[in-house]
Structures are given as structure tokens and as C-alpha cells.
Chain A
Amino acid sequence: MTGAAVLAALAHAAGSFGPGLLAAAVGTPVAILAACAISRGRRRSPALMVLAPLPALAAALLAGFGAPFSYKSRAFDVTLALDAPGAMLLGAAALLWIGAAFYAGADGRGGDGDGRFRASWLLTLMGSLGVFVASDLLTFFLAFALVSLPAYGLIIADDNASRRAGAVYMAFTVAGETLLLMGFVLLAAGEPNGSLQIRDVVAALPGSPWGGAALALVVAGFVMKIGLAPLHGWMPLAYTAAPLPAAAVLSGAAVKAGVIGLIRFLPFSHALPAWGEGLAILGLFSAFYGVALGITQTNPKTILAYSSVSQMGVIAAVAGMGLASGDLRAPLDTAFYAAHHVLVKGALFLAIGACAAAGARRHWLAFLPAAALALSLAGLPFTGGALAKLAVKGTLGSGAIGALASFSAAGTTLLMLHFLFRLARNPSPDRGARTSGQLLSAWFAMALASILAPWLLFPLTGGHLSDALTPAALRESLWPMLPGAALALPLWRWGGRLPHPPAGDIVVIGEKIIRASYGAGAALERVEAGIRQWPAAAMALLGIAIILGAAMATGF
């Protein structure tokens, strides 16, 4: 069969199986959760957790290589659709969820007695897959809440640090949901025909009387989800506290709910230079801020978290520049860059456990793929990272922002070398890490997938693989890495003299403000205690009657 025939067959299959597969992709996790209510399901739960993302992976392959398709539920007001950017992220996320579930099973999590982890995992999974396929506002909001709230159960454990991380995470999450809710309400109110389809409300956004407020709120909500500085405080705390497989899926897959949010909700068909450049500048600030704070950290998990702050900054910069110029290719390019990050960041978290599990003698066996992946994040030639940088080059443009964005690779190189150095130095930071063949094989499979998948996906963005292999392209991806590598030496030598801000840095200020607000609460409590006295209540009764009467009299 020729390639064209295969594609035609895939497109045909997408038409006939696609819709059902979409429903299955989102429904399977919750079905498995229900199966775990009975004890036979519970005993098999580690295996079921591995299988849960499979329908999503199949749907992603079908839509990515076949044709887009959609699904509309008859019973509920739920509409799902899968297009190329969604499919790319859905496929990458599903792969990571499978690998991480395999790893979690080897790590002894989510089994019969670990109901909290299992339920949190499956619900977060459902939301994580759901955001990529939701095609109306309410379904998206539901999926976004699912990918955000139950993750609390993945972060917390029995120590004060994780409780604090969980509390900070929840505060950010609930605040972000609130912003997003208001933004969505404004989007819906601005759509003249009453449609709730994301496509329609975004198309109506530029003409809506509340367009500016809606865009600001929605972007703020997604920026909180992807943890751009200065709203990044929860990220280092949560990823440091969460067990490795949970940190992997949160940093790799769950955070992309914010990225797909930007992809879906920014009106790329209208060039909005001020909005776009504002977002890009915020993103670039985050890209360098993450590096600056990351190199002061010693825990490999925390370093990876700050790397996420930085990488999400680059993604925001790409999306912002796409919006600034009204670039319709930006969604797909952003999705490709993000898909690469899904796999690599997830795999790197697993690498921390794999290096510990491999033991001193075989440490290099686990370490070498980790090194390749870490440098892939910085855009090392011949890696998926180089392809990702190439894909977003056009959108970033050749101006100051484009130059700064490509220079951020120097920072990433430095931060990743720092990570590798700490990974080699303290191989066992996580409690309960144990030597196990399944754990190592989960890591190798994940690493392999992360290295190969970008090469398979790149042609879908419309690029040619050969473009990445020209001497000019190689040179261009290599040169920003050199200053980073050069700086790594002094960091390694004198890094100990850097200040050591705590993980989450400025979140401490936010916590102080919250604590200070307890005083206001106490004051309100005193006022309320006064109101609850009989004389006050009797006066209130009288007063309300008089005021209402007077208001009516003046109204008439």
C-alpha cells in the first residue's frame, strides 16, 4: 500500500470510529474508577491505570494522521472535537500518562489500599485528556476543573511540606478557576447567537463589548495554570512535594491544560499586537526568571519545576507572538513545542527515580538517556528539542523578542546541566525509591518515546525533517547553547555561593498576605457577634422595614 492509500484509509477510519473513540477517550478513566469500586477491579487497578489512556492515544493517532472528527453527546450538553493541535497534545499526554502509570505501579502506588492516589490519578487523567478534546465552553471548564482540583490528592502526603504545597496549589487553582469562570461568562455573553462552542465565542471576541475584559481574565486564568512568573509559586512547591510519577504527569501533561487554553482561546485570526506582545514579554520574563531561580536550587525535582516555569514562558511567548501577528499557524507550532515538553519533562521526572533505582553500578545506564533528554529541552541538534525550536522560529519572528527567545536556550542549557550535575550527585532524593526492573523499563520506554515521537510528529506541522539537518540549522540550534555550557563551569565551581531562596520563592509573600487577612476575619467576626445581639437584631428588623418602605415610596 502506498502512503497516500494509508492516509486515505486512516481518514476513512477517523470518520467511522473517531467520534466513538473520543467519547471512550474521556469516558474510560471514569469507567475504570467505577470498576475500582468493586474489589476485583481494585486488585487490578495498577494495570487498569496503565490502560486508561489507550483510547485517547488511539483517537490522537487517528485524528493526527487521519482527519479531524467530533462527537456530540445526546444525553448531556457535551461536545468533543479533535483537530491537529489537540491531537498532538492528546497523543503526547496519553503516552506520558501510560508511562507514568506503569512507573507508579512499579513504585507500588495506586494499588488496592491506595484509593486516594488512584482516584486522584484517574480524575486528573480524565480532565487532562478532556481539555484537549472539549469543544464547548462548559465541557472545557469541567475538564479544566478536573485536571486541576483532584491533583491535590496527588501532591499531598503526611508531611508539613507537602501539606503546604497542597494548600498553595489549591489557593492558586481556585483563584485561577474563578478568573476563568468570569472570563468564560464574558465570552459567552459576547456571543450574539447564544452558541457556547469555543470556536464561535472566540470568533465573536474581537467584536464583543466585553472582549478586552474576557481576554484578560481568560489569559490570566491560563497563565496561573502554566505558572508564569510571578504567578509560579505553586509549581516548585507542588512538583517537589508530589511523588515522582505524579510530578511527571502534572508537569508534563496536566499543566498543558493552560497551554491548550491559550491555543484555543486566543483569537489568532485577528492580529492583536498589544495583547500578543504583552503576553510574549511576560513569557520571556518567566523564561529567564525560571532559569535564574532554578540554578540556585539543589533538589532535582525543584530544578525541573523551575525549568517548567521557564519553558512555559517560552510557550507563552510563542503564543503571544502568534497573536500579535495574527499567525494562523501558531496553534499547531505551539502545540508541537508543548508536546515535546510533555514527553521530555515527564520523562526527566521519572529519570530521577530511575537513576536512584539503577544503583551506583548501572547508574550511567539510566543517566545517559536523561542527559540526552535534558539537552533536548535546550534544543541540542539532532534532538526533538531542535525540531521544536525550528517549528516555533517563524512565529517568534526575527525581532527582539525572537532573538531573546532563542537566547533563552542558553539559560535552558545552563539549567539542564545544573540538573544533570545534581542528578549525578544525589541520586536518591525520593523516599521509597526501590530497585525494580519494571521501574527501569518504564523509564527506558518513556525516554525512547520522548526521543522518537517528535520526529514522527514534526511532519504534521508542515515542516520537513531535512530542514532540521542543514548545516545552517544545526549551527543555529547549537550556538545559543554555547554560552550556557560555558556558564555551567563557574556555576559548578562557585554555585554554592549563590543565595538559596526557598522553593516557590515569592509565594512566601502571598502566604504572609493571607495570614495577615486573618486579622480582617477576626474583625468581621467581632462585628457579626455584635449583630447577633438581640437589641441589634431588633433594630435591624425595624431598620430594614423602614428602608425598604422608603425605597419603595421613592421608587413609585
Chain B
Amino acid sequence: MQAITTALTATMGGLLLALAIILPVAGVLLSFVLGGRAAERIALYLMPAGLGVAAMIALGVWRSGAPLVYLLGGWPPPLGIALRADGFSAVMLLTTALVILCAGLFARANFPTPAGVNEARAPFAFWILLQGLWAALNMVFLGGDLFNLYVALELLTFAAVPLVCLDGRAETLLAALRYLVFALFGSVLYLLGAALLYGAYGTLDIGLLSSRISASPAVWAAAALMTTGLLAKTALFPLHLWLPPAHANAPAAASAILSALVVKASFFITVRLWFDVLPSLPVETPAAILATLGSLAILFGSVLALRQERLKLLIAYSTVAQIGYLFLMFPLAAGLHPWTADAWSGGVLQTLSHAFAKAAMFLAAGLVAETLGHDRISGLRGLGKVMPMSVFVLGLGGLSLMGLPPSGGFTAKWLLLMASVRSGQWPWAIVMLAGGLLAGGYVYRVLAPAFASADLSLKAPAPRNRERIALALALCAILLGFAPSGFFAFLQIGRPALTAIP
């Protein structure tokens, strides 16, 4: 009897996985059919529903203590395709749903369909792309098959690139083109690697691959190609050339999603590849190479952020730096050691708290730019008087970026530092501390002029309601700092390292 109920709940949970993808896809299709004005309404109705689905998936994973699996059409791999949600997937789904919901609510003011027309190009495109992006993200976080993940990545790129150039200005078109070309380079490399693996093992299912994989030239060539392709899409230094112009020139809501979620998607697949497909292989040296690139990203990204004249560019370069922290996870969480659980939790928490903090900061920066008519840092003197809430948001986000308590960024840094001390890998600890100092510098550069009392001329009144949306996201980043220990146990659900070896 109990076996039956367990099986039943597993299927129920499985259906939820499918629903998480079907919902935004249905939204896109419906928007095309109904057209124009309906796209916005459909998107905004679906977002809370999607949040509910994500929450139920998380609940399911938490209740069962094991990953949820759904076999499309009932065929097990390698014939069929599996959807799979472990702890990391579940928190990414939830974060995605929350950030997309906030960005959607925020964007209503920027992309309304004007009264009197049935359809306007930019709003229609925005709301459809937003849903497409969301579908692609959920596919990435649920995909259990490397080819599936490739399709999801392509969808993601084709939804993200047009978002950058919605306003059609020459510089945004150029930024979008850069993004597109580089992302395609990345796709080609990934596909090449996937083809190699398929040739060698006849499957791209992650679970099957991880049990079959062995050291062979095909595997290391495939891993190197796929990883490089993913790094290009994640904009890890020195492959970040497309990120600053794309993220700094997109509309605020799009910047928030691009920085918070889109770069995390390819990072997520990198983690899948290294921790789920390759864990049985010795990866110390390549992992150290990834972390070295991450360290360079922290150094260059932070210093460049310190030297920007525009707020949105500063925040974009801060993303380059913060992505670097994510890659410190690879040498620290590799293998089976007493510290790997901490490192894993720290890496995941860094992903989440950066997503919330950065989304909040891009939204606040967008409001500042709308209200002042510019986002030059030298012109922010007196901002605290006219937009105190936005300055507060930038401060809270900055707190998390600097890794100071109370914030998710602090807890993440604490865990990663603990892991680097326990594993004796000192260089990463020094990099993390230096990165915190530099982050302090660029956050100070934004906040110090805001505290000055000068009279600012406003182009528009400060929109309090939209400031509250940004604040909600920033508070999420802070709340992560109060995560109870059960949360970290949740993040470990489905990790092969814990289940493979007793």
C-alpha cells in the first residue's frame, strides 16, 4: 500500500515537472494565437501559477528526500527522455519563478500595449520572449539529458538575445549581435562535445552516462569542448566580452533576468556535467583551471567595476566578478571529503543570492536611470534624498555582493571559505577575501555620493511601487542569510557523491 502511494506521489511530482515546462510554453503559444494585448495578461497570470508549481516541486523533493523523476511518454532512457529535479534544480526553479515574476511586474510600466492599438511590436515581443526565456530556463533546470539541455540552451539564447535589443538602438543591436555570435560559438563547441559522447556511449542521458563513462580521449575531448562552450555562454573571464554591453544596455527588467538567471543556466549545466556526468573521473587539474579563471574573473571584474562611469555598467562588471566565485566551487566540492558538502552548499547559495541581489540592483538601477534620465555615477549625488528606497536596495544588494552579514552572500562566502581552509586550498580563500574588499570599493562608489545632500533634478517622479518590487528581491538575498540548516540538507538532495558511496 505504501509502495503504491509512494509511486503515485512520485508520478504526481513527475507531472509537476512537465507542468513547469508546459506552462510557459503554453503561454507563448497562447500569446501568439490571441496576439497583442493578451500576451501581457497571459504572462502575468501564468507567473504566479508557475511560482506555485515551482513551490510544489520543491515541496515534493523535500518531502521525498530524493530527486523527482518524470519519464516523458513513460519510456525510460536511453529510449525516452527523463526530466529530473534534485535539490539544486528545485531551488533554481523557485528562484527563477520569483525573479521572473518580479521582473514581469516591474516591466508592466515599460512595456504596456498603448491604448487604441491592438498590438505594439516591443511589448508583444517582450512578453513572448519573457515566457520563452522562462520555459527555456525550466528546461535547463529539469533536463536529464545532454541533448535536451542543448536544445534548452539554444532556446535560451534565442529568447535572450532579442531582449537585449528591443529598443532597436544601434548600440543595443551591436551588443545583441556580439552576444549572439559568441553564444553560437559556445553552442557549436557544446554540440561537438555532445556528439563525441554520443558516438562513444550511444546515449546522452546523464544518469546512464555517469555509470558508463570511463577515461578515454573521446571523453576528455568532449568534456573540454562542452565546458568551453558553456563557459562562453556563462561569460567566465576571459570569455566575457559580450556581457557588459549586453547587460548594461538591455531594458532593466531584461538586464535583471539576464544577469540573475540566464548566465546561471549555462553554469548549472557545467555543474551537471562535472558533478553528475564526470564525478568518477579525476578532475583536480581541470577544476583548478576553472577556479583560476574564476579568480581572474573576480580580480578583473571587480577592478573594472571600480572604474566604470555608469551605474549599469558597474553592475554588469560586478556580474563578471560574481560569476568568478561560482567557479571556485569546482575544486572545493569535487570528490568525497568532509568539506565537499559545505563547498556545494556555498556554491549553490552564491548562485541564488547573486541572482536575487543582482536582479534587485539592476531593477533599482533601471529606476534610477528612468527617474534621473541618466545613470552616470558622478550624477548620483543626493540620490538618497529623492529615492531612498532604491539606494537602500543598492545597499542591500551590495551587502550580499561584499559578503557581509546578514545576507546570502555572507553565508555562501563563509561556507566556501570553510571548505578552502579544510581542504588546504588557500589561494581560493585569499581570492575570495580580496574580492570582498574590491566589492566594498565599488559598492562604496555608488552609495557614498547617494548619501550626499545635493539637489537633483528629476525627469520623472520616483515610482515607489516599482521600487518595492526591487526591494522584495533584495530582501530575498538578505533572507537567504538566515537559511536554517535544513535548507542546506535540502541542497544536498540528489547529489551523486552522497548516494553513490555509503
Question: B1 at the A/B interface (Cβ < 8 Å)?
Answer: no
Please count how many residues in chain A sit with their CB below 8 Å of the partner chain's CB atoms: 55
Question: B286 at the A/B interface (Cβ < 8 Å)?
Answer: yes
Distance in Å from the Cβ of A72 to the closest Cβ of chain B?
Answer: 14
Q: For B437, what are the chain A residues with a Cβ–Cβ distance below 8 Å?
A: 174-175, 178
Report how far A186 CA is from B418 CA in the complex, Å.
8
Q: Chain B interface mostly helix, strand, loop or mixed?
A: helix
Report how far A367 CA is from B239 CA in the complex, Å.
67
Interface segment among A276-284, A381-389, A533-541: the answer is: A533-541
Distance in Å from the Cβ of A26 to the closest Cβ of chain B?
Answer: 13
CB closest chain-A residue, reference B306:
A521
Q: For A537, what are the chain B residues with a Cβ–Cβ distance below 8 Å?
A: 182, 238-239, 241
Q: For A189, what are the chain B residues with a Cβ–Cβ distance below 8 Å?
A: 418, 421-422
B440 adjacent to A174 (CB under 8 Å)? yes
Choose from B413, B417, B451 the contact partner of A156 (Cβ within 8 Å): B451
Report how far A158 CA is from B293 CA in the complex, Å.
42
Q: With A521-B306, A524-B300 in contact, is A548–B224 under 8 Å at CB?
A: yes
Report how far A555 CA is from B227 CA in the complex, Å.
16
B286 adjacent to A552 (CB under 8 Å)? yes
Q: For A188, what are the chain B residues with a Cβ–Cβ distance below 8 Å?
A: 418
Q: For A554, what are the chain B residues with a Cβ–Cβ distance below 8 Å?
A: 285
B444 adjacent to A167 (CB under 8 Å)? yes
Q: With A185-B417, A189-B422 in contact, is A170–B286 under 8 Å at CB?
A: no
Report how far A53 CA is from B330 CA in the complex, Å.
47
Interface segment among A141-149, A303-311, A391-399, A500-508: the answer is: A141-149
Distance in Å from the Cβ of A516 to the closest Cβ of chain B?
Answer: 15
Question: A266 at the A/B interface (Cβ < 8 Å)?
Answer: no
B417 adjacent to A181 (CB under 8 Å)? yes
Q: With A116-B451, A166-B448, A537-B239 in contact, is A138–B405 under 8 Å at CB?
A: yes
B304 adjacent to A525 (CB under 8 Å)? yes
A532 adjacent to B241 (CB under 8 Å)? yes
Which of A189, A548, A554 has the most chain B CB atoms closer than 10 A to its own CB?
A548
CB closest chain-A residue, reference B417:
A185
Question: A544 at the A/B interface (Cβ < 8 Å)?
Answer: yes
Report how far A186 CA is from B402 CA in the complex, Å.
19
CB-CB contacts of B291-304 with A at 8 A, as 1s and 0s? 00100000110011
Instruction: Tell me the residues in window 298-346 of chain B with beta carbons closer than 8 Å to chain A beta carbons.
Output: 299-300, 303-304, 306-307
Question: B452 at the A/B interface (Cβ < 8 Å)?
Answer: yes
Give the top 10 A-B pairs by smallest Cβ distance, nearest first.
Answer: A549-B224, A552-B220, A556-B215, A548-B224, A174-B440, A545-B228, A532-B241, A142-B405, A551-B285, A185-B417
A544 adjacent to B293 (CB under 8 Å)? yes
Q: For B303, what are the chain A residues with a Cβ–Cβ distance below 8 Å?
A: 521, 524-525
A170 adjacent to B417 (CB under 8 Å)? no
Q: For B471, what are the chain A residues with a Cβ–Cβ distance below 8 Å?
A: none
A178 adjacent to B433 (CB under 8 Å)? yes
Q: With A163-B448, A524-B300 in contact, is A547–B418 under 8 Å at CB?
A: no
Q: For A163, what are the chain B residues with a Cβ–Cβ distance below 8 Å?
A: 448, 452
Question: B404 at the A/B interface (Cβ < 8 Å)?
Answer: yes
Report how far A331 CA is from B303 CA in the complex, Å.
42
A556 adjacent to B220 (CB under 8 Å)? yes
Question: B77 at the A/B interface (Cβ < 8 Å)?
Answer: no
Q: For A152, what are the chain B residues with a Cβ–Cβ distance below 8 Å?
A: 451
Question: B482 at the A/B interface (Cβ < 8 Å)?
Answer: yes
Instruction: Tell me the residues in window 145-204 of chain A with beta carbons closer than 8 Å to chain B beta carbons.
Output: 145, 149, 152-153, 156, 158, 163, 166-167, 170, 174-175, 177-178, 181-182, 185-186, 188-189
Q: For A142, what are the chain B residues with a Cβ–Cβ distance below 8 Å?
A: 405-406
Q: For A525, what are the chain B residues with a Cβ–Cβ distance below 8 Å?
A: 303-304, 307
CB-CB contacts of B404-427 with A at 8 A, as 1s and 0s? 111000000110011001100000
A77 adjacent to B484 (CB under 8 Å)? yes
Distance in Å from the Cβ of A555 to the closest Cβ of chain B?
Answer: 5
Which of B220, B300, B406 has the most chain A CB atoms closer than 10 A to its own CB?
B220
Distance in Å from the Cβ of B216 to the closest Cβ of chain A?
Answer: 8
CB closest chain-B residue, reference A144:
B405
CB closest chain-A residue, reference B189:
A545
Q: With A189-B421, A556-B220 in contact, is A182–B433 under 8 Å at CB?
A: yes
Q: For B421, what are the chain A residues with a Cβ–Cβ distance below 8 Å?
A: 185-186, 189, 210
Report how far A495 CA is from B358 CA in the complex, Å.
55
Report how far A549 CA is from B221 CA in the complex, Å.
6
Question: A553 at the A/B interface (Cβ < 8 Å)?
Answer: yes
Q: Chain A interface mostly helix, strand, loop or mixed?
A: helix
Which of A167, A188, A189, A528 has the most chain B CB atoms closer than 10 A to its own CB?
A528
B281 adjacent to A556 (CB under 8 Å)? yes
B227 adjacent to A531 (CB under 8 Å)? no
Question: A76 at the A/B interface (Cβ < 8 Å)?
Answer: yes
Distance in Å from the Cβ of B379 to the closest Cβ of chain A?
Answer: 17
Question: B14 at the A/B interface (Cβ < 8 Å)?
Answer: no
Q: For A149, what are the chain B residues with a Cβ–Cβ distance below 8 Å?
A: 404
Choose from B185, B282, B307 the contact partner of A555 (Cβ within 8 Å): B282
Q: CB within 8 Å of B: which residues of A?
A: 76-77, 115-116, 138, 141-142, 145, 149, 152-153, 156, 158, 163, 166-167, 170, 174-175, 177-178, 181-182, 185-186, 188-189, 210, 521-522, 524-525, 527-528, 531-534, 536-538, 540-541, 544-549, 551-556
Q: For A153, what are the chain B residues with a Cβ–Cβ distance below 8 Å?
A: 451
Question: B154 at the A/B interface (Cβ < 8 Å)?
Answer: no
Question: B429 at the A/B interface (Cβ < 8 Å)?
Answer: yes
Distance in Å from the Cβ of B197 to the closest Cβ of chain A?
Answer: 13
CB closest chain-B residue, reference A536:
B238
Other than A540-B238, A549-B224, A552-B223, give 5 A-B pairs with Cβ distance below 8 A: A163-B448, A538-B185, A541-B239, A548-B286, A552-B283
Distance in Å from the Cβ of B299 to the closest Cβ of chain A?
Answer: 8
Distance in Å from the Cβ of B287 to the closest Cβ of chain A?
Answer: 9
Q: With A528-B300, A555-B284 in contact, is A521–B307 under 8 Å at CB?
A: yes
Question: B57 at the A/B interface (Cβ < 8 Å)?
Answer: no
Distance in Å from the Cβ of A246 to the closest Cβ of chain B?
Answer: 14
Which of B223, B241, B304 has the most chain A CB atoms closer than 10 A to its own CB?
B241
CB-CB contacts of B262-293 with A at 8 A, as 1s and 0s? 00000000000000000001111110010001
B436 adjacent to A178 (CB under 8 Å)? yes
Question: B453 at the A/B interface (Cβ < 8 Å)?
Answer: yes
Q: For B185, what are the chain A residues with a Cβ–Cβ distance below 8 Å?
A: 538, 541
Q: For A177, what are the chain B residues with a Cβ–Cβ distance below 8 Å?
A: 404
Question: B388 at the A/B interface (Cβ < 8 Å)?
Answer: yes
Question: B225 at the A/B interface (Cβ < 8 Å)?
Answer: yes
Question: B24 at the A/B interface (Cβ < 8 Å)?
Answer: no
Choose from B224, B282, B388, B429 the contact partner of A556 (Cβ within 8 Å): B282
Choose from A76, A185, A547 the contact partner of B289 (Cβ within 8 Å): A547
Q: With A188-B418, A549-B220, A552-B283 in contact, is A158–B404 under 8 Å at CB?
A: no
Q: For A546, what are the chain B residues with a Cβ–Cβ distance below 8 Å?
A: 224
Choose from A141, A531, A553 the contact partner of B405 (Cβ within 8 Å): A141
Q: For A178, what are the chain B residues with a Cβ–Cβ distance below 8 Å?
A: 433, 436-437
Which of A167, A186, A537 has the most chain B CB atoms closer than 10 A to its own CB?
A537
Q: For B217, what are the chain A residues with a Cβ–Cβ distance below 8 Å?
A: 553
CB-CB contacts of B472-496 with A at 8 A, as 1s and 0s? 0000000000101100000000000
Q: With A158-B453, A178-B436 in contact, is A551–B289 under 8 Å at CB?
A: yes
Question: B51 at the A/B interface (Cβ < 8 Å)?
Answer: no
Choose from B182, B388, B418, B451 the contact partner of A185 (Cβ within 8 Å): B418
Question: B153 at the A/B interface (Cβ < 8 Å)?
Answer: no
Question: B231 at the A/B interface (Cβ < 8 Å)?
Answer: yes
Report how far A541 CA is from B220 CA in the complex, Å.
16
Question: B251 at the A/B interface (Cβ < 8 Å)?
Answer: no
10 pairs across A/B with beta carbons < 8 Å? Answer: A138-B414, A145-B404, A170-B440, A174-B436, A185-B417, A524-B300, A541-B239, A545-B225, A552-B224, A553-B217
Q: With A188-B418, A521-B307 in contact, is A116–B384 under 8 Å at CB?
A: yes
CB-CB contacts of B184-201 with A at 8 A, as 1s and 0s? 010001000000000000
Q: For B225, what are the chain A residues with a Cβ–Cβ distance below 8 Å?
A: 545, 549
Report how far A531 CA is from B239 CA in the complex, Å.
8
Report how far A142 CA is from B406 CA in the complex, Å.
6
